[in-house]
Amino acid sequence: MVKLTQHRQAILDLINASNRHWDADEVARALSDAGQSVGIATVYRGLAALEAAGLLDSIQLADKKRYERADKAHHDHMICTECGHIEEFTHATIEALQLVAAQERGFELSGHQLTMFGRCKSCSQE
Amino acid sequence: MVKLTQHRQAILDLINASNRHWDADEVARALSDAGQSVGIATVYRGLAALEAAGLLDSIQLADKKRYERADKAHHDHMICTECGHIEEFTHATIEALQLVAAQERGFELSGHQLTMFGRCKSCSQE
DNA sequence: ATGATAATGATAATGATTATCATTTCTATC
DNA sequence: GATAGAAATGATAATCATTATCATTATCAT
C-alpha cells in the first residue's frame, strides 16, 4: 500500500475536493497557489502512487494523463472537441458486453478506457 | 481531399498490405528497408493527411499513435499488457449503446475509442 | 539515537510529435 | 514548353509531457 505522506495527502485532498480531471501541472500549480508547494516530480510520482493504490482514477488523453477522484462509480468519458468539456457517463450494459467480448477471446480483462469525442450540448447549439 | 503523392502512396500501400498497427517510426524504417526512404517528418504528415482523408485509421495509445488500414469494418481493440499483442473486436450492440448515451446528453458524436487492457489468451496460459 | 528505506526536489534526459525554413516538386495557365 | 504559385519534402530545431538521476531529507522500526 502507499505511504500517505503530507504531499500525497495534499494531492489527494485537492482532487477529492473537486469534480475535475487534473493534469500534473495543474495539481502542482494549485498546490503552489495554496502555499503548499510540491515539486513537479513529486506530483508525478504521487499521482502514480495514488492511482496504483486505487485512491485516484485517470484517463489517458492523446497528449497527457488526467486524474480524478476514485470514490465515484465507474464511468467513461465524453470529451467535447470544441471546448474541452469532459462529461461522464455510466452504462452497465456496455460494461457487461465488454466483459463478454473479452471472455470470448480468452482475454483476462484488467481495465478498459472508453472515450467518446464530439461536440457537447452547448457547443452544438451555437 | 488529399494529394496522393508517391510518398503517401507508398505509406498507404505499406499499411494496406498488412494487418498491423504501425507507428511513424516503424513506417519510416520499413520504407527505408524497401529502398524507398522517406523523411520522418513526411511520414508524420503523410499519416495525418491519410487519416484525415479517411484512408487510414488510428488508435491513440498512452505513448504513441498507431495507424492501420481503414478498409475494414469499424472495430475496437484489446491490448495485451504483457506481450503487446493487439486484438480487434467488433460489437454492434456496444456501438449502438454509445450512440444512445451520447444522444441522451445532447452530444454530437464524431468518434470514439474503446480500448481494453488485459492478458491475452496465450499470455494468461503461461 | 541509529541505520535502513523511501520520499523529495532540482534538473537532466527521453521520446514522440510538431514547427521552421530552405529546397524541390506539382499544377494550372499562358 | 515556360512559368508563377501552391503544396510537399527533408533536415533539424523546438516543444512538451513524462521519467530518470542523484544528492538531500524525512520516516520508521529497532
pLDDT tens digit sequence for A89-116: 999 999 999 999 999 999 999 999 999 9
Nucleic strand D under 7 Å from the C-beta of B34:
no
Q: Average pLDDT in the B95-115 region?
A: 94
* pLDDT at residue B3 in the model: 78
Residue B116 with chain A: CB contacts under 8 Å: 98, 101-102, 107, 109, 111-112
> Considering only CB atoms, which residues of chain A are within 8 Å of chain B?
60, 62, 65, 78, 80-81, 87, 89, 91, 93-94, 97-98, 101-102, 105-121, 124
Torsion of CA B38, B40, B42, B44, to 10 degrees: 130
* pLDDT at residue B1 in the model: 63
Percent above pLDDT 70 for chain A: 99
Give how far B85 is from chain A: nearest CA, Å: 11
Closest CA in chain A for residue B116: A112
Of A60, A62, A109, the CB nearest to B118: A109
Among B125, B114, B24, B113, which Cα is nearest to B83's?
B125
DSSP for A26-82? Answer: HHHHHHHHTT----HHHHHHHHHHHHHTTSEEEEE-SS-EEEEESSS---EEEEETT
Nucleic strand C under 7 Å from the C-beta of A32:
no
Closest CA in chain A for residue B113: A115
Running DSSP on this structure, what letter comes out for residue B31? H
* pLDDT of A71 strictly over 80: yes
Q: Average pLDDT in the B7-16 region?
A: 96
* pLDDT at residue B61 in the model: 94
* pLDDT of B126 strictly over 80: no
Mean pLDDT of chain B: 94
* pLDDT of A1 strictly over 80: no
The model's confidence at residue A125, banded by pLDDT at 50, 70 and 90, is confident
Query: Is A106:B124 a contact under the CB 8 Å cutoff?
Result: yes
Q: Average pLDDT in the A8-24 region?
A: 96
Determine the distance from the C-alpha atom of residue A31 to the mean position of all C-alpha atoms in its chain, rounded to a whole number: 18
* pLDDT at residue A3 in the model: 79
Q: Average pLDDT in the B33-39 region?
A: 94
CA/C1' separation A120–C10 (Å): 41
* pLDDT at residue B59 in the model: 96
* pLDDT at residue B65 in the model: 97
* pLDDT of B8 strictly over 90: yes
Domains of chain B: 6-69 (1.10.10.10), 76-124 (3.30.1490.190)
pLDDT digits (tens, 9 = 90+) for B82-94: 899 999 999 999 9
* pLDDT of A22 strictly over 70: yes
What burial class does residue A94 get, using C-beta atoms within 10 Å of its C-beta: 0-12 exposed, 13-18 middle, 19+ buried?
buried
Nucleic strand C under 7 Å from the C-beta of A40:
yes
pLDDT digits (tens, 9 = 90+) for B42-86: 999 999 999 999 999 999 999 999 999 999 989 999 999 989 999
